[in-house]
Amino acid sequence: MLMPVRSTNRMTLLDCVGLGINGIIGTGIFLLPAKVFRNAGGLSWAAWLAIGGVCLLVGLCFCEAAGRADRNGGPYLYARDAFGRWVGVGVGWMALAANLFAYGAVARGFGRNLSFLVPALNRAGPQIALAVAVIGALAALNYRGIRPGALTSDFFSGAKLIPLLLFVGIGLFFVDWQRISFSPPPGEARLEAIKLGGFAALFACTGFEYVPVTAGETDNPRRNVPLALFFALLGSVLLYVLVQIVFMGTHPDPAAADKPLAEAAGAFAGPWAGGFVAVGSVVSSFGYLTAVALVTPRYLSALGENGELPAIFARTSARFGTPSLAIAVTALACAGLAAFADFDRLSDLNNAAVFAQYVPTCLAVLVLRRKRGPSSLTLPLGPTIPVLATLGCILFLNGIKVDDVIFSLATLAVGLVLHAAWRVFGRRAVLGAE
C-alpha cells in the first residue's frame, strides 16, 4: 500500500507550538514587569492573571474558529466568513497593523535588551541599525520557505524558556513575600489598578493569534492549530505570573527598573545571573522576531489572495512557494517603524490595534456556529465563553489612551480606503486589460 507523502515544507504540531511560544514570549516579559508594577503595585501579579485570563478566553475562541479553517488568514478569515467582506478587510488590516507595530517594537527592544551586555547599544542610533539588520536577515530567511523559518522558531522557543525557568526556579528562594500583597498603588482602587496593570501587560500576552494565520501551510490544521494555541498560551500566562512574583519580591526598586529581570537576577544571585538573564532576553527577543517575521507577511498575502488588495501581494516565489512580495513589503514597513518609534510607543499602538481582531473573532464564533456548523473543537457552555471573552476585551479597552484610539481609527480608515480604491479602480483596470 502506498503511504501518503508528508510535505517537507509544511508546519507540524511542534512547529505550531513553537510558533505560539515565540509569538507570546518575547521582549515584553523582560521589559514590562516594572511598568506593570508601577500601574498595579502589589497587585501586579493579579494583573497578569486578569489579562492572561481574558487572553485565554479569547484564545479558546480562536481555537474553535481555527477548527473550521484550513487556509491562511487567521482572524481576518474568521471575520470575513462571519460578517462579510468589509468587516473582514477591517479586521485583516488591523491585524496586519498590530503585527507591524509588534515587529517594530521588539526589533527596537532587541537592542535595548542587548545593551545590558553591550553598552554601546544604549543609544537610539545603534538600536535602530541593529533592528533594521535583523529585520532584513529574517526576511531573507523566510523568503527561502516556511520550514526554515519554522525550524528557527522551534529552536528559539525552547532556548528562550531556559533563562526564564531558571529565573523563577532560583528566584523563588529569594523572594521577600511581604512585598507580595493585595495593595494597589496609593490612591488607586483595586479594580482600576488591576485593569491598568493588565493593559500594560497585554503586549506580552498577545501573539497566540499567530498560530492559525499559517493554517494553509500546516499539516492537519483543524487539530494542530487549536492544540498548539491553547497549550502555548496557558503555559505562558502561568510562567508570567511566577516571573512577576520573583521580580517584585527580589528587585531593590521594582518601579524604577529599566531591564527588570536582568537587574533582579543580578540582585539576588550576582552579576553572572544578571548577564545570563540578559542573554536570555536577547534570545527570547530574537525568537519572537522569528515568529512575527513568519506570520506578518501572511496577513498581507491573504488580503491579496482574497481580492481585498491587489493580487500581486499574494504572488509566491516560483522556487520556494513563499509570498515573496508580501515578505519584502512588510520588512520595509517594520524597518521604517523601528526607525521612527521606540519599544514603548510601538507596544502601546499594538495594544490598541490588537482588540480589533480579538473582539470580532469572539463574536464570529457565535455566527459561524450557525453558518458553518460544528468545529473540530467546539467550546462547551454554549455562548458563555465567547461572551465572557468579549466583555473582558471591552473592560481592558477602557485603558487605551485617546491618542492611540485616534491613531488606530486612522489606521483602519487607511485600510478601508485602500480596499475601496482597489475595488473601484484596480479591478476596472484589470477588466480593461482583459
pLDDT at 415 over 80: yes
The residues with which 69 forms a beta bridge, in sequence order, are none
Nearest to 233 by CA among 66, 101, 100, 408: 66
Task: Between 2 and 189, name the one with better pLDDT.
Answer: 189
C-alpha span between 353 and 368 (Å, rounded): 23
pLDDT at 126 over 80: yes
C-alpha span between 95 and 210 (Å, rounded): 10
pLDDT at 215 over 90: no
**Does the predicted model carry a pTM greater than 0.85?**
no
The pLDDT of 388-394, averaged and rounded, is: 91
pLDDT at 4 over 50: no
**Per-residue confidence (pLDDT) for residue 168, from 0 to 100:** 93
The contacts found for 181-184 with CB under 8 angstroms, 24 or more apart, are 181/41, 181/42, 181/43, 182/42, 182/43, 182/46, 183/41, 183/42, 183/43, 184/40, 184/41, 184/42, 184/43
| Superfamily (CATH H level) for 13-426 | Amino acid/polyamine transporter I (1.20.1740.10)
* Mean model confidence pLDDT for the chain: 80
pLDDT at 408 over 80: yes
The pLDDT of 74-82, averaged and rounded, is: 83
CA distances to 56, 354, 364 from 385, in Å: 10, 19, 12
* CB burial of residue 202 (10 Å; 0-12, 13-18, 19+): buried
pLDDT at 241 over 50: yes
**Per-residue confidence (pLDDT) for residue 146, from 0 to 100:** 54
The pLDDT of 72-83, averaged and rounded, is: 79
pLDDT at 431 over 50: no
C-alpha span between 105 and 31 (Å, rounded): 12
Is residue 299 within 8 A of residue 77, CB to CB? The reply is no
The pLDDT of 28-48, averaged and rounded, is: 88
The most confident of the ranges 129-138, 346-355, 374-383 is 129-138
**pLDDT classification of 70: cutoffs 50, 70, 90:** low
